[in-house]
Structure 1
Amino acid sequence: MSLYELAILGSPAAEERDALTATLRGMVEDFGLVLDTDVVVYDGATVSGRDKRAAFAAAFFGAAAPTDIEAARELVLASAPIIPTIAANGDFALHVPEFLQSANGLKRRADDPAMTELAAAMLECVGLLRRQRRVFVSYRRVESRAAALQLHDLLNARGFDVFLDTHDIRPGDPFQDVLWHRLVDSDVMVMLDTPGYFDSRWTRQEIGRARAKDIQVLRVIWPEHVPSKLTDMAETVYLDPAELTASDGPIVDQTAEAIVLRVERLRSRSIAARYMSITGKLRADVEKIGASVEGVGAHRAIAVRLIGDRKVWAYPIVGVPTAEILNDVAEKARRADQGEVPVLVYDHVGIRDAWSAHLQWLDEQILSVRAIKVSEAGWALAAWEG
């Protein structure tokens, strides 16, 4: 059985269908999944055969006279998520059927021929990518403030929740606690690599802790600056002198938009790396206590067989758990009919003490799902009572 199912409907050109499929293939491979096996992509003629137990989402390509109308209508009646999408010069009112116009659509960007934004939206709908879209901008104010502010606004406009220290820490909040909390809840760090970046102990800590948490880094290197080899493994954008309008920015529009697209693509790789890190730690701790990991089920839940033959379903999550995420895990377990209280597994390092206390309170009050720190998984599961 496939873990995720997608559909490309409507009237995409052949090259658009191929481009979107190729981008989806690359993104799911970040998670160790195989397109056509773990993730199936249907068209209008085959979508009626989808497995209704699998997580599903569709993209509908609008046009003046779109096809697959009845297939889309059946999916709407089944409450399946559909993303209406049109070309950069398209018109939703004219090119999208009326019964789909209540769903928030996506206008494809002319500078995104790989349709990275659409692929990410589809994978968010099925739960492979989390819906929280968080970016951390690391920079030195004296060298790149204007560029940091520009990217903050541009990423926000593209649907990201962007952390910038000058904008997102309220007066009276413990500055460093909030900063680390927001870092560990980010998908990607954008590092503005200026000549004095490593002169600050704070930026040194930011890049080091991002790497310690497997958060992917997009390094934007200032013109004529020789970057440190400490960040050679990061994705890199080299700026030419003509791409900066002043020494601290802003960056010319075309290059700034390209940086946003790089963040979008890097995000799936980052979430996958963090997910794999948590699952690896979970497996190691489970095996220490004589239990075993049996496999992966619906919604990437991990089946853990405890001593005594009891099975527990663990849901590794990336970032900071919230009540909404606890509810989402409980709902996924209910739909999968797993028969046991599901276990949310998370990495607590970097989360604020106040938030950790809140999570403990939630765990004591909510009986439909449990939450454990991955560093304590073996300890907790060895005495598991559900």
Structure 2
Amino acid sequence: MKKYCYQLIILGKDFGIKEAIISSLKDKTNEIGIDFSHFKIINVENFDEYTDASPSFCIYLGRYNANKQFSDVELLEKVVVDASLVLPIVQGSLDDFSQCIPELISTYNGLAVSEQDKNVKVEKIVNNILEAFSLLRKNRRVFISYKRDESTGVAIQLYEALEKNGFDVFLDTHSIRSSEPFQDELWHRMADSDVVVLLNTSNFLGSMWTTQELATANKLLLGMIIVSWPEHSIKAHRDAEISFPIQLKDNDFNDENKRLNGNIVNQIIKNVESIRARTLAARRDNLISNFIKIAKSNGYEPQLDSYKIISMTKSNEEIVLVPAVGIPNSLNYESSSSLIKEIKKKDYEHVYILFDETCIRDFWLKHLKWLDSSLTVKTLSILGAQKWLKN
């Protein structure tokens, strides 16, 4: 009987990246606390073990081929017919995309990998895999914290660079509509972020607002990239659960406009990508441990499985709880239901999305209550767990 749940299919012609992807995937699954035995690596040698009954993600590795004689096309057709997600990865540049991959997947959004950016791209590919399997959120949200009169130019530069790399970036001057309550929306967006990029200028902690942002980020257990200006010591990360410091030097800036040079920008993006999985895992594990502690103190015996799903009996009913980091939405309801069915191999009448409502705006909490009244899956805030367990 198979023990794995997730199938990573790797087809095409390797150009020295396959083992790096698998190695990084093992590291990432370890970081987020998922046993790698839940994954099955499928290739041309063992493709007969592939099944359309389990979630799958396919990587097709393409190298330049003037004659367009591509490998593993028949196997790729099977994957495409089964509606599996496919990521074409080509060597070099996207300029040669059509000469590197079969026409069958020519309309798919692909990724180019060169020797120079291999490490950064492998990180991105692995996060893409985990997102496809719902082991990482598909929302890739970054919050930029900065002092306006000291680093607005760099904040806008990073906003544009991170957006270009597929992140949903919060920057107060760009992300809050005029009609919104500024501070409430700011905390709401921070609660739904994965990583904070903090621009640690000389007087960053001299502002009440930036000090509050730092305190709230720490309260929410957000990971931080601390970018400190030259001649300014790194202090802002002292309470952060997960942080990565970058100490800037004078030559890290372009003299003309006092913006960061490209190498530093790429380093920041790489580290945002790198600590994102650890941040989400830390926040999820904190949610789980708090719930289990509360449940046990109330006489329950919750069980945590290797997929990080909690099961327990309450009022003689079987209950499962799926922890969700950030702000739940309707997609969480659907994915939680599908995940439970895939892993447990049966339907549960009582499925809950466990979340933390800290900093979430009232209008969204009302929206979740409306969804709860309309759907079989429900939400449960960790802040209300004590009361729920006593009922």
**Which of 90, 105, 111 is matched with 1:106 structurally?**
111
Counterpart check, 1:86 vs 2:84: no
SS in 1 for 2:160: helix
- Distance across 1 between alignment mates of 2:390 and 2:77: 49
CA deviation after TM superposition for structure 1 residue 247, in Å:
9.8
* Paired position in structure 2 for 1:10: 12
Letter in 2 for 1:104: N
Counterpart check, 1:144 vs 2:151: yes
Letter in 2 for 1:7: I
CA deviation after TM superposition for structure 1 residue 382, in Å:
4.7
Counterpart check, 1:370 vs 2:370: no
Letter in 1 for 2:103: E
**Which of 277, 280, 286 is matched with 1:271 structurally?**
280
Residue 117 of structure 1 contacts residue 264 of structure 1 at CA under 8 Å; is this kept in 2? yes
Percent of aligned pairs sharing the same letter: 28
* Paired position in structure 1 for 2:304: 295
- Distance across 2 between alignment mates of 1:379 and 1:88: 57
Q: Deviations over 1:201-222 (max 9, x none)?
A: 2111112211211110011111
SS in 2 for 1:292: coil
- Distance across 1 between alignment mates of 2:189 and 2:248: 27
Residue 197 of structure 1 contacts residue 203 of structure 1 at CA under 8 Å; is this kept in 2? yes
User: Against the structure 1 CA distance between its residues 206 and 38, is the aligned structure 2 distance closer, same or farther, given a 3 Å change threshold?
Assistant: same
SS in 1 for 2:205: helix
SS in 1 for 2:118: coil
- Distance across 1 between alignment mates of 2:350 and 2:317: 12
- Distance across 1 between alignment mates of 2:236 and 2:277: 25
Question: What is the TM-score with the length of structure 2 in the denominator?
Answer: 0.90
User: Against the structure 1 CA distance between its residues 269 and 141, is the aligned structure 2 distance closer, same or farther, given a 3 Å change threshold?
Assistant: same
SS in 2 for 1:306: strand
Map 1:116-155; keep pairs closer than 5 Å. 116-155=123-162
Letter in 1 for 2:388: A
Residue 58 of structure 1 contacts residue 81 of structure 1 at CA under 8 Å; is this kept in 2? yes
- Distance across 2 between alignment mates of 1:320 and 1:301: 18
User: Against the structure 1 CA distance between its residues 296 and 348, is the aligned structure 2 distance closer, same or farther, given a 3 Å change threshold?
Assistant: same
CA deviation after TM superposition for structure 1 residue 378, in Å:
4.2
CA deviation after TM superposition for structure 1 residue 329, in Å:
2.1
* Paired position in structure 2 for 1:184: 191
CA deviation after TM superposition for structure 1 residue 228, in Å:
1.5
- Distance across 1 between alignment mates of 2:221 and 2:87: 30
* Paired position in structure 1 for 2:388: 380
Counterpart check, 1:57 vs 2:47: no
Cα RMSD, aligned residues only: 2.2
CA deviation after TM superposition for structure 1 residue 248, in Å:
8.1
- Distance across 1 between alignment mates of 2:222 and 2:339: 26
Letter in 2 for 1:287: K
Letter in 2 for 1:34: D
Q: Deviations over 1:251-277 (max 9, x none)?
A: 001211221111111111111111111
Residue 143 of structure 2 contacts residue 196 of structure 2 at CA under 8 Å; is this kept in 1? yes
User: Against the structure 1 CA distance between its residues 268 and 111, is the aligned structure 2 distance closer, same or farther, given a 3 Å change threshold?
Assistant: farther
- Distance across 2 between alignment mates of 1:171 and 1:78: 45
CA deviation after TM superposition for structure 1 residue 288, in Å:
2.4
CA deviation after TM superposition for structure 1 residue 328, in Å:
2.5
Q: Deviations over 1:140-186 (max 9, x none)?
A: 11111111000000100111100000111111211110000000100
Residue 136 of structure 1 contacts residue 164 of structure 1 at CA under 8 Å; is this kept in 2? yes
User: Against the structure 1 CA distance between its residues 301 and 341, is the aligned structure 2 distance closer, same or farther, given a 3 Å change threshold?
Assistant: farther
Aligned residues: 378
Letter in 2 for 1:2: Y
CA deviation after TM superposition for structure 1 residue 381, in Å:
4.3
**5+ residue gaps in structure 1?**
none
User: Against the structure 1 CA distance between its residues 248 and 360, is the aligned structure 2 distance closer, same or farther, given a 3 Å change threshold?
Assistant: farther
* Paired position in structure 2 for 1:317: 324
- Distance across 2 between alignment mates of 1:378 and 1:66: 58
CA deviation after TM superposition for structure 1 residue 308, in Å:
5.0
CA deviation after TM superposition for structure 1 residue 45, in Å:
1.8
SS in 2 for 1:226: coil
Map 1:218-229; keep pairs closer than 5 Å. 218-228=225-235
Letter in 2 for 1:200: S
CA deviation after TM superposition for structure 1 residue 33, in Å:
2.4
CA deviation after TM superposition for structure 1 residue 356, in Å:
1.1
Letter in 2 for 1:87: Q
* Paired position in structure 2 for 1:256: 265
- Distance across 2 between alignment mates of 1:256 and 1:53: 42
User: Against the structure 1 CA distance between its residues 89 and 261, is the aligned structure 2 distance closer, same or farther, given a 3 Å change threshold?
Assistant: same
Q: Deviations over 1:23-62 (max 9, x none)?
A: 1122111112233x13333323224314655432121111
Residue 6 of structure 2 contacts residue 40 of structure 2 at CA under 8 Å; is this kept in 1? yes
**Greater shift after overlay, 148-157 or 53-62?**
53-62
* Paired position in structure 2 for 1:193: 200
Residue 312 of structure 2 contacts residue 318 of structure 2 at CA under 8 Å; is this kept in 1? yes
Residue 230 of structure 2 contacts residue 249 of structure 2 at CA under 8 Å; is this kept in 1? yes
Letter in 2 for 1:9: L
- Distance across 2 between alignment mates of 1:140 and 1:66: 53
**Greater shift after overlay, 124-133 or 221-230?**
221-230
- Distance across 1 between alignment mates of 2:236 and 2:161: 29
Letter in 1 for 2:145: S
**Which of 229, 247, 250 is matched with 1:241 structurally?**
250
Letter in 2 for 1:48: D
